Amino acid sequence: MTATLFDFNGVLVDDEHVHLAAFRDVLEPLGITLTEDAYVERYMGFDDRGAFTAMLQDAGHTISSVRVAALVAAKKPAYMARIEEGLRIFPGAADLVRRRAARGKVGIVSGALEHEIRYCLGRMGIAELVAFIVPAEATKACKPDPEGYLLALQELAAHSVPLVERRRAVVVEDSLAGVEAAKKAGLRCAAVAHAYDAASLAAAGADVVAATIADLTDAMLDGEVA
């Protein structure tokens, strides 16, 4: 049995365009313009807290924990209002979760907020297959820090997954920061080239790279083929 730890945004659901729009909803009243290129190259992979901190800093604005928390809170309804109409699920994502749940525990380790993740899992019809979620609220540091994946290993232990199986857990990521976080946690990482090219993901440390999540096989995830 092999546990599988999925990143969420950009791996299972194609909602980065929704996050970008929600960030813009919050930033535009502050006079901050967020381009798609800047979002992909600089901020994608951060959780909301880390993204807003970096965005304010890059725009030369004053940064405080109170101000960042207020921006994160303002983005919540903006995201939810847009995701109800704009959710796109990657083809093959739900099927892969079902396959992996039949082979071991499935967890989500994401910089997204828990209510966002649970809403989308419900829309995908796979909520009951996910044993646990490590959302942004559970961590002090976002990827590429390995904290989220280290917490996931603790969750696997709490779900009675033996140490030998925990060490064999595989991560599915789409971002360079996510791959780096997985490798820092000592985990095998399969990457999907949904947002970054295969060469960049491999250079970041991914053990195997597939063009899309639909192309990931169990043999690739379990380390049976490169």
State residue 15's pLDDT score.
86
User: What token pair was written down for 116?
Assistant: 């966002």
Band (pLDDT 50/70/90 cuts) for residue 1 is confident
Using the predicted structure, report yes or no on whether residue 226 has a pLDDT greater than 70.
no
Please, which residues bridge with residue 13 across strands?
A: 9, 89
Cα(14)–Cα(214) distance, integer angstroms: 13
Domain boundaries, given as residue ranges, for the chain: 4-14+88-221, 16-86
Q: Which residues of 131-141 are buried (b: 16+ CB within 10 A; e: fewer)?
A: bbbbbbebbee
Q: What is the pTM of this model?
A: 0.87
Residue 189's H or E segment, with its range, is strand 188-192
Cα(113)–Cα(69) distance, integer angstroms: 13
Cα(27)–Cα(20) distance, integer angstroms: 10
Q: Which residue has the tokens 């989220």?
A: 148
Non-local CB neighbours of 1 within 8 Å, separated by 6+ positions: 103, 104, 165
Non-local CB neighbours of 81 within 8 Å, separated by 6+ positions: none
pLDDT in tens, 5-63: 999 999 999 988 899 999 999 999 999 999 999 998 899 878 899 999 999 999 999 99
Average pLDDT over residues 151-158: 98
Query: Which class in CATH covers the domain with range 4-14+88-221?
Result: alpha beta
pLDDT in tens, 115-146: 999 999 999 999 999 999 999 999 999 999 99
Give me the phi and psi of 128, to 5 degrees please.
-75, -10
Looking at the domain that runs over 16-86, which CATH code has it been given? 1.10.150.240
Non-local CB neighbours of 158 within 8 Å, separated by 6+ positions: none
- Stated length of the chain: 226
Question: pLDDT averaged over the chain?
Answer: 95
State residue 130's pLDDT score.
98
